[in-house]
Structure 1
Amino acid sequence: MLGPGVVCDHLVVEFLLVSLVLALPSYTSPGGQPQIRAAMTSKDMLYHAQKQVGKWFYDACIPFNAANSFQFQAMTDAIASIGPGFKMPSYHQLRGKILQDIVKEVSEHCDELKLCWKETGCSIMSDGWTDTRSRTLVNFLVYCPKGTMFLKSLDLSDVPKTAEILFNVFDNVVQEVGPANIVQFITDNAANYRAVGDLLFQKYRTFYWSPCTTHCVNLMLQDLNEMHDMKSAIDQCQEVTKFIYNHAYVLSLMRKFTKGVELIRPAQTRFATNVLTVQSVVKQRTPLRQMFASEEWAAYPHAHKRNASLVVDIIFNNLFWESCVKLLKVCVPLVKVLRLADSEDRPSIGYLYEAMDKAKEAIRDNLKEKKKLYMSIWKIIDKRWTGQLHQPLHAVAYYLNPAIRFSPTFKDREVMHGLLDCINVLVEDSTEQDAVHNELDLYDSCFRNMGLPAAVRAKTTMRPDLWWNRYEFDCPNLARFAVKVLSQTCSASGCERNWSVFQHIHNKKRNRLEHKRLNDLVFVRYNMRLKQRELEKSLARKHTSQFDPINLENFDDLEPWIEEEPATIFDDEDLECFNLEVEATEGFVDEGESATAGAGAEYVGEDLPILDDEEEEEDEDEDDEDYE
């Protein structure tokens, strides 16, 4: 059994599992057939072994889902292969040599991932965060179609965040990744980051700075939700949810009438959750009205107090429901764009232009094509799109995506200007630039292989970058250029997801971790699962008849925004119908989805420590040793 100094944390369990696997092979896969020796063991002995595992879980306060770790069974096999008397690694071994060795092993796998950067290009993503000790940390991740790799984290607490200083920091990262491998550097839209992007472009002129799409769309939603009627709807929905969840009797009564379905509560970190809150309240409109008109509510001693009467008035106010419906008609199409940009399963840059067009068209159709209503909405969207989000790289990806280029909805617009600019920036050799220009006509005319029936069908059933890889024979130079562009993401939201790993490691129980060790823990935790995700994707492909492209339909399931799961990719064929049909008597998520989403929504916004109801007797002493 581990000594009393062992860190009681789910992450330490994973390091322990991996460290044991380094030396010994795994003999039994989770869920696989037991070996003869194990099968012949008595049930009492097997159960005794399982209880010992359980006792350690309970004593160390390890969450149950740690048993789902990819390394859990491998650790058990490694221990069993040695036999009784195996001495578990100590506290100091786990935080020292073992951690360093695992960092080296994970780095070797990351080196294999880096090999694809030369072929597909990559996107550097950066975002900042302030930890519990008020240190300013900046994450750097690198995206390519094979996965998002955590590169490193830097502590910039002791330097001013001016463009000149940040430029030196970011320039070192560019040199580490390799300027020739980079297609774009993605950050948020802060003025200093934008200035750094301009300085990087002036120095290299071989890649772009791009604003984070999810950040820009969030700002669009924020601007829209500041409109008077929408702000009023959000404020009233918040009043309803706050009242219900702050009164135990009312909360129990609501669960009875909604049959266990929770109301989604707004989170502090993602502005789109305001839309989800409204959506959930609209879905439960009938149960909420029945609850506040019931005898159980009448029997509630505080039913006639001012705040209770205010909520009742909101629930029975038809103007409130009309404003909620209008908000959803306007905002849900943009939430679909947000989900598209937030996905890491497929490169999404080739669909952003079309997605924004479809979102605007959906808003127009939802408002019954009344210019007086939708033009003011369009102006707000266009202000952010033109001023921040519109980039040459997005225009080129729109043109090079065969599913869109040869669709009836394709619009030439300013695409050619962005295309010429991108060829000049991303293709350094002048001879190759000329070859790319010459091959554009072959692409436009679907010359030879690109015009085959199979190639035409594959335009809407394959990822755009994979389509170019398969049908590149007649346009090899243009194909290399297209693969680099279409293999990129358009959002830095992977950085935000990585902050949850930081918060899990660097919480109030472990707030004295020095930055070097914190960086190594996150590096191992994040990148250790890259290979696992690759295996899961390959298994998923075996059960799928074809690669499914990102589609601009059926984004109505918004549950991943609540439970932080990867956004799904959809497999319908055409790129129309960004419409949202909204009726006053119907909701927008079916009941099963609402139940799942609401269950996790109450605590969105912050990764809570594993132990939040009692204090440990001893704190870790993480800052008394140098970590080399």
Structure 2
Amino acid sequence: MNKRPKTSSGERVHLSSSMDMSSASQLEQSKPLMEADVQFDSWAEKAMRNFIFEVGLGPRFVYLTSFKEMLQTVHNRDVEIPTYESMLREELKETQHRAMQLKQEWKKSGCSIIMDSWKSRCGTKSFISVLVHCSKGMYFLRSIDVSGILEDMDELASVFSRVVDDVGACNIVQVIRNDASPHMRMAWHYVQKEHDHSFFVPPCADFCINLLLEKIAAFDHVSEVLRKAKEITRFIYGNVLAYELVGRYIDDGEILSNSCLKSVAEFITLDRLVSVKENLVEMFSSPEWVSSDRSTRMFNPLDWISSGFSTTTSLFRHICGIVKTDGAFWCAAADVLKITKPFIDVLLKLESEDCPMGILYDTMASAKDIMHNLGDKYGDILHWVDEIWYGYLHSPLHAAGHMLNPRVFYKDPSCDDPELSGRIEACTTAIAKGHYDPGRLKAQIEVYKGRSGSFGSDSAIQQIVETPQVTVVWWSAHGTDTPELQSFATRVLRQTCFGAKRYNISRQVLEEAHETRGADLEELYRGLEYAHHNRRFASAAPLIGGLSGDQCGKPGRKLGSDWFLYPRHRQHIVIGSSNT
């Protein structure tokens, strides 16, 4: 594969530019759409700019009459709104300042490219969002329309090669993907060969565990449990009084998960449902419920008819029967959770750690051991556990993170078994290329394994025992006698295991950037895409709920209508009142 990246906008692949300084300069020279006779105070303009680019609003929004009237009301005087171009120009300046800081960190400690593959809302187009993660944060590079080239290995590799050129091959430790297709992996193999540089291309942990849970959900006995759980939640979220009473009888008033991963959200919701079973029994037995005619009032009569029930009363009796007397369902649900909860706990554990790369291998191995201890009756599910483990997460990079975490390595002698040592050696060989002397690095690893020198000092051991988060900080304090290994450990442990979904990316903004428009508007929407996502990433934390910073979202957004039914018009109900 000898092709070089194609960068012309006339090629089959449409690349949205990461708005570099030259793009910002072009905007600087563009003619404003309207002049401001009376300018905002600088703080007011900045506040408006922050709002526009955090939400991801396009240029048309600024020129709405209603928006201008709102600002005039607030200021109690006529104001001229700054042009969208001028606000975008200032936003790009701030974004570029942060980008320069991040790029310095890429050179110092390495980085991870995150390839987020997804389809448009209509399902006819395929896109990839390219993100770059380092210890100082996430950076949005660009999005790519790959609708016409997914099966064209040369074209796909050319697109990826441009990404590597932009980030710098020597800075890349891994390329995380949420697409397990062979052609995607093969394209990256071609890119590595072309650049004569080695980096790892693992799927993200979120994708792997969500895929595993999806496979588990497909088993007949599990799908039957989920079917009944869906009936309960659909009834509660579709019945006005039940929804009101949930707030009284359940502590946080919520059952549905807002996880950004669909299968993870399903099993978290099942877990919450099982945990509040007694609360639901109490709720459905309460005087407020039994005495109210609203207990049978649903906002969508087609819902119970399509479910095979002639009236809401018959549907209520069915749901009440599951909640109060269907012991087989609750036992089966608890049994399913024994299988799924250990893997969901892996995702939550990764989120709570300052260095997820240092614990992924260990936490997945522990979850796998729990599954094996449950017995032979889960043999079919164990097959999928092993498939995900050995096929995706059993990589040299994760093994190295495991070994370089002193909290794990100095407690677990199995860390030094021959099979694991072989994977660690593969990782050191790949990452050392162009950065470290392999011989010196190998010798220093032996010093670490033997707890020699500063690794065996009282302060090193004490910090492991007493400080929960010790990984990178520990290496900074105690790895000074082995500088190559210290740098290598930092390079590995500062990488992420997460994909893009934890950051709650707005795909609507991404799609708008790829719509066909005139050149001027196209440049504005590319700038919006770049500024919006980098503003979000500047304050984002990767959360399994997909809600980072002060972003908001309603529970159930990934679950779908088979789990909940929000009535179109929810009236306020006074508990105990007989008024309609």
TM > 0.5 between the two? yes
Distance 1:605 1:287, change over 3 A: closer
Q: Paired residue for 2:92, among 103, 112, 132?
A: 103
Q: Does the alignment pair 1:424 with 2:432?
A: no
State how far apart, in whole Å, the 2-side matches of 1:127 and 1:112 are. 23
Contact 1:349 1:394 (C-alpha < 8 Å) held by counterparts: yes
Q: Paired residue for 2:207, among 215, 225, 233?
A: 215
Contact 1:131 1:506 (C-alpha < 8 Å) held by counterparts: yes
User: 1:121: which partner in 2?
Assistant: 110
Q: Does the alignment pair 1:335 with 2:344?
A: yes
Contact 1:225 1:231 (C-alpha < 8 Å) held by counterparts: yes
Q: Paired residue for 1:151, among 136, 141, 154?
A: 141
Structure 2 counterpart SS, 1:211:
coil
Q: Does the alignment pair 1:487 with 2:494?
A: yes
Q: Percent identity?
A: 23
Q: Does the alignment pair 1:317 with 2:326?
A: yes
Contact 1:241 1:265 (C-alpha < 8 Å) held by counterparts: no
State how far apart, in whole Å, the 1-side matches of 2:459 and 2:529 are. 44
Count of residue pairs the alignment pairs up: 479
Structure 2 counterpart SS, 1:123:
strand
State how far apart, in whole Å, the 2-side matches of 1:333 and 1:195 are. 32
Structure 1 counterpart SS, 2:143:
strand
User: 1:445: which partner in 2?
Assistant: 450
User: 2:547: which partner in 1?
Assistant: 564
Amino acid at match of 1:321: W
Distance 1:171 1:18, change over 3 A: farther
User: 1:32: which partner in 2?
Assistant: none
Amino acid at match of 1:155: D
Gap regions ≥5 residues in structure 2:
1-32, 36-41, 51-65, 297-310, 561-567, 569-580
Distance 1:352 1:138, change over 3 A: same
Q: Does the alignment pair 1:395 with 2:399?
A: yes
User: 1:572: which partner in 2?
Assistant: none
State how far apart, in whole Å, the 1-side matches of 2:502 and 2:136 are. 17
What's the offset of the Cα at 1:382? 0.9
Q: Paired residue for 1:238, among 230, 233, 236?
A: 230
State how far apart, in whole Å, the 2-side matches of 1:605 and 1:14 are. 40
* Cα deviation code 1:476-519 (max 9, x no counterpart): 11222221111111222xx22456334368689x9989654333
Structure 2 counterpart SS, 1:601:
coil
* Cα deviation code 1:314-341 (max 9, x no counterpart): 2120011101111222211100112344
State how far apart, in whole Å, the 1-side matches of 2:109 and 2:381 are. 37
User: 2:9: which partner in 1?
Assistant: none
Amino acid at match of 2:166: E
User: 1:280: which partner in 2?
Assistant: 272
Q: Paired residue for 1:355, among 363, 366, 391?
A: 363
Amino acid at match of 1:394: H
Structure 2 counterpart SS, 1:491:
coil
Structure 2 counterpart SS, 1:174:
helix
State how far apart, in whole Å, the 2-side matches of 1:482 and 1:181 are. 15
User: 2:479: which partner in 1?
Assistant: 472
User: 1:192: which partner in 2?
Assistant: 183
Contact 2:126 2:146 (C-alpha < 8 Å) held by counterparts: yes
Contact 1:144 1:487 (C-alpha < 8 Å) held by counterparts: yes
Contact 2:502 2:544 (C-alpha < 8 Å) held by counterparts: no
Q: Does the alignment pair 1:384 with 2:367?
A: no
Contact 1:265 1:601 (C-alpha < 8 Å) held by counterparts: yes
* Cα deviation code 1:331-355 (max 9, x no counterpart): 1110011234467x73311111100
* Cα deviation code 1:563-599 (max 9, x no counterpart): 62479xxxxxxxxxxxxxxxxxxxxxxxxxxxxx9x9
Structure 1 counterpart SS, 2:211:
helix
What's the offset of the Cα at 1:85? 8.1
User: 1:17: which partner in 2?
Assistant: 46
State how far apart, in whole Å, the 2-side matches of 1:355 and 1:239 are. 33
Contact 2:502 2:543 (C-alpha < 8 Å) held by counterparts: no
State how far apart, in whole Å, the 2-side matches of 1:404 and 1:427 are. 23
Distance 1:468 1:271, change over 3 A: same
Q: Following superposition of structure 1 onto structure 2, how do residues 516-531 of structure 1 map, counting pairs within 5 Å? A: 516-528=523-535
State how far apart, in whole Å, the 2-side matches of 1:14 and 1:239 are. 51
Structure 1 counterpart SS, 2:506:
helix
Amino acid at match of 2:46: L
* Cα deviation code 1:12-37 (max 9, x no counterpart): x999426889xxxxxxxxxxxxxxxx
Distance 1:235 1:85, change over 3 A: closer
Structure 2 counterpart SS, 1:272:
helix
Contact 2:111 2:133 (C-alpha < 8 Å) held by counterparts: yes
Contact 1:268 1:605 (C-alpha < 8 Å) held by counterparts: no
* Cα deviation code 1:275-328 (max 9, x no counterpart): 121122112212322343456347648577443333223212001110111122
Please report the RMSD computed on the Cα atoms of aligned residues, expressed in angstroms: 3.9
Structure 2 counterpart SS, 1:411:
helix
Q: Does the alignment pair 1:169 with 2:159?
A: yes
Contact 1:230 1:327 (C-alpha < 8 Å) held by counterparts: yes
Gap regions ≥5 residues in structure 1:
7-12, 22-54, 61-75, 538-558, 568-596, 607-612, 614-628
User: 2:462: which partner in 1?
Assistant: 457
What's the offset of the Cα at 1:361? 3.3
TM-score (norm 1): 0.67
Structure 1 counterpart SS, 2:355:
coil
